Amino acid sequence: MDPLKQLIEEPGALTPRQYARRARQLAALHLALAFGAVTGEGVLFARGKVLVTLAQRSNVETLTLAFFAVFFAYVGLLGLRGAPGALRVVRFALLARIRGREAAERAKHEALGLPRGDGPIAALSVVLERQDSPARPFELAVQDAAGSMGRLRVDGARVQHAPHRRDGSANLLAYFARQVDQVAGRRQGRDVDVVEWGTLDDEATRRFLALAEFGRNLGAALGRDGLWPRVVLTAEDCAELERRLAAICPALRDEGFLPHWEYEAEHKLPIVPEPLGLASLGRTEKRADPLPSLTALALVVALATALLAALILYPPWVPGK
């Protein structure tokens, strides 16, 4: 897989261990953003007079401080949106050490609450079928000893997470696609990936799924099974997929407490730098994982806070009145 695509789109969709680490990192990032933003605002308000004096006696625009105030407030809102859920993740992690993992997972499962929607939908690059029931929809359980996190409903190229708790997870669909690719796709010479996301562009997803269904029906009418790319899952493949889905249920519960960030990403490399910007190279990903973006944002907040603190502790020489 393209390393850049793996970094931006789905860094945690390969193994259960990576998925669990990703959920913990997202929780830590929300706490870091909230704490960093509050710290930055505190520095501005506590030592604002000193910073304004430095700005007025130098060539630095005073409105720069206003920018920092607005920036920290905005980042703080982003972090505070996920901070309560992140604290619950920490709470249940501590509970697992005290009462045991199974008891903590059962308590976490109940704390998530009932589903609040039908769950996310995605379109795969291939049609999935079970060997024992070709051309028919099927389901895979997403559950472990602590309880069910829902089912994956597969109908051709359409896959949906029907949750039993909370909102469902689009990240689960990316994880599922990678697992199908490893379990059966490579063996059959097919690349399995998500090509359309219903949470980002429901119209494009419906168009692609309609085209895939048309291709499958046309192939059946002509007696040509390979007219549309497909991957056939055996009973052993489905059992292995359910085992891998069960392995990430604890991480899915942690993820359920956090906000669901769903957005596209566009990154550009200017050939002629700003302010001219006459030519640039660009690339767009249909879905970006929030982990790299939140990590970069946390680093910017830390650097901005450190810069303000350095100016206060070690003020530069400026002309007096």
Looking at residue 1, its pLDDT comes to 52
Contacts of 213 (CB under 8 A, 6+ apart): 156, 157
Looking at residue 135, its pLDDT comes to 83
Q: Would the pLDDT of 92 be above 80? A: yes
pLDDT digits (tens, 9 = 90+) for 164-181: 988 888 899 999 999 999
Mean pLDDT value of segment 182-191 = 93
Looking at residue 276, its pLDDT comes to 60
pLDDT digits (tens, 9 = 90+) for 131-145: 988 889 999 999 999
Query: Closest Cα to residue 131, out of 172, 76, 187?
Result: 187
pLDDT digits (tens, 9 = 90+) for 139-164: 999 999 999 999 999 999 999 999 99
Least confident window among 223-232, 266-275, 283-292? 266-275
In the numeric block, which tokens belong to residue 170? Answer: 């689009």
Q: Is 61 exposed, middle or buried (0-12, 13-18, 19+ CB in 10 A)?
A: exposed
Looking at residue 199, its pLDDT comes to 87
Residue 8: pLDDT band with limits 50, 70, 90? low
The SS3 assignment for 281 reads: strand
Q: Would the pLDDT of 73 be above 60? A: yes
Ramachandran category for residue 303: left, alpha or beta (phi over 0 → left; psi -120 to 50 → alpha): alpha
Q: What percent of the chain has pLDDT over 70?
A: 88
Query: How many angstroms from the chain centroid is the CA of residue 88?
Result: 19
What 8-state DSSP symbol labels residue 226?
G
Q: Would the pLDDT of 270 be above 90? A: no
Looking at residue 222, its pLDDT comes to 83
Handedness of CA 68, 74, 79, 83 (dihedral sign): positive
Compute the distance between CA of residue 72 and CA of residue 207 in angstroms, rounded to an integer.
Answer: 41
pLDDT digits (tens, 9 = 90+) for 30-56: 999 999 999 999 888 887 777 777 666
